[in-house]
Amino acid sequence: MTYDLDALRASFPALGEGAAHFDGPGGSQVPRQVADAVAGTLVSAIANRGQLTRAERRAETIVVEARQAIEDLVGAPDAHGVVFGRSMTALTFDLARTLARTWGPEDEVVVTRLDHDANIRPWVIAAATAGATVRWAGFDPQTGELPVEAVTGLLSKRTRVVAVTGASNLLGTRPDVASIAAAAHEVGALVHVDGVHLTPHAPVDMVAMGADVYACSPYKFLGPHLGASIAAPDLLERLHPDKLLPSTDSVPERFELGTLPYELLAGTTAAVDFLASIAGPVGERRTRLLTAMELLESHEARLAERLEAGLADLPGVRLLGRAAHRTPTVAFTVDGHTPQDVARDLAAAGVNAPASHFYAIEASRHLGLGDDGAVRAGIAPYTSEEDVDRLLSVLTTAIG
């Protein structure tokens, strides 16, 4: 089975504007099938979920199918453990506040400096409210690696939560989450994995990974703007977040405040189906997704290698993070040029590779980049060799 890049790119209307998109880590472009699913829902009769009218049944079906799609994508224990919300950040804040109600001054949470702030600040704030202690795991700024022992060395019988990224959105580093989770479970801690940056780039099995809660964002894997937080239903049954009096206390609905965005859920299912279609139309969706993500991962790794090799040959370019296991995400700086100036020059030539700390502000500071961050070039499913060569050519001219 081969990765048909030309056929895939033909499904993305946005590519017709002519830009080379390396901004996928901040939000991917959307295939026509996803846009059609969103639009089709918006122009169809829709209502609050139920079984009485066609509009009610349509809403119910959309929600059920979206939960099943996410279950297949991440290897969830059960579709009834899939919670949807406005964003991964909002969902994580809600979860942290709920868990912190049972914490006290004797308790601890572990976070890492490699993470996006959405998997740091909710836990830090919740711990401060409860009077609990935050313990920080650092990573190697030279390699970008997060050693397992950097996290496990902080664990104790007082650890309540370990929050760790599945992949760094700044450096691409993919920590050994399974080993970290195994050690965390030995002391009775819950493991919260930020899978937002990992999910678009590799096959995911949250159960094998050891994630008690796994968070992701469909708009990073070709879908609409919303977030998902996934756990086993029996874990969710033990948690009681704030909710309105008349709203259901059933799981997972007790975690979903207000009416769900049905059109975005339809788009999420379409995005998962689009990814599965990379492996062809025949077979169970979970099986096709695993094959498709392996094909995608191979395609992206080849282009990332081409990009890194080209950048390494340019004078004054400093590549950040050389972890052995990474997503196709390349962060770099250029001597004598601010990251923002480099990004501006690239954008002027139709190459979208932004510069920032990208909300991984602890990582940026730990790397000595301050709050300016770096230029980030992310390979996406629709990235081509021509895109890579274009970025390298424009950068060569820009830095003289």
pLDDT, the chain, mean: 98
CB burial of 120-147 (b: ≥16 within 10 Å; e: otherwise) equals bbbbbebbeebebbbbebebbbeebbbb
Amino acid type, 270: A
Amino acid type, 272: V
pLDDT of 277: 98
Residue 280 CB neighbours (<10 A)? 11
pLDDT of 110: 99
Mean pLDDT in residue range 176-205: 98
pLDDT of 86: 97
Mean pLDDT in residue range 9-31: 98
* Topology, domain 9-30+291-398: Aspartate Aminotransferase, domain 1 (3.90.1150)
Q: What is the pLDDT of residues 225-261, one digit of tens each?
A: 999 999 999 999 999 999 999 999 999 999 999 999 9
Q: What is the pLDDT of residues 112-149, one digit of tens each?
A: 999 999 999 999 999 999 999 999 999 999 999 999 99
Query: ∠196-383-271 over CA atoms, to 5°?
Result: 50
User: Exposure of 344 by Cβ count < 10 A (0-12 exposed, 13-18 middle, 19+ buried)?
Assistant: middle
Q: What is the DSSP letter of 244?
A: -
Q: What is the pLDDT of residues 345-370, one digit of tens each?
A: 999 999 999 999 999 999 999 999 99
Percent of the chain with pLDDT over 70: 100
68's CB contacts (< 8 A; 6+ apart) are 79, 269
* Alpha helix segments (H runs only) across the chain: 5-9, 32-42, 54-74, 88-100, 121-130, 148-152, 177-186, 206-209, 233-237, 262-277, 285-312, 339-348, 361-366, 385-398
pLDDT of 1: 81
Mean pLDDT in residue range 188-214: 98
Q: What is the pLDDT of residues 179-190, one digit of tens each?
A: 999 999 999 999
Nearest C-alpha neighbor of 311 from the set 370, 256, 376, 267: 376
pLDDT of 15: 98
pLDDT of 53: 98
pLDDT of 172: 98
The answer, yes or no, to whether residue 224 has pLDDT greater than 90, is yes
Written as six digits, the tokens of 321 are 């993070």
User: Exposure of 315 by Cβ count < 10 A (0-12 exposed, 13-18 middle, 19+ buried)?
Assistant: exposed
What CATH number matches the domain at 36-275, 3.90.226.10, 3.20.20.70, 3.40.50.880, 3.40.640.10?
A: 3.40.640.10
92 close to 215: Cβ distance less than 8 angstroms: yes
Assign 49 a pLDDT band (cuts: 50, 70, 90).
very high
User: Exposure of 148 by Cβ count < 10 A (0-12 exposed, 13-18 middle, 19+ buried)?
Assistant: middle
pTM above 0.95, yes or no: yes
Q: List the domain boundaries for the chain.
A: 9-30+291-398, 36-275
The answer, yes or no, to whether residue 302 has pLDDT greater than 90, is yes
The answer, yes or no, to whether residue 338 has pLDDT greater than 90, is yes
Written as six digits, the tokens of 400 are 């003289």
284's CB contacts (< 8 A; 6+ apart) are none
Query: Taking the alpha carbons of 316, 321, 325, 330 in that order, is the dihedral positive or negative?
Result: negative
Q: What is the pLDDT of residues 254-289, one digit of tens each?
A: 999 999 999 999 999 999 999 999 999 999 999 999
The answer, yes or no, to whether residue 400 has pLDDT greater than 90, is no
Cis peptide bond prior to 252, omega within 30° of 0: yes
Assign 374 a pLDDT band (cuts: 50, 70, 90).
very high
pLDDT of 138: 98
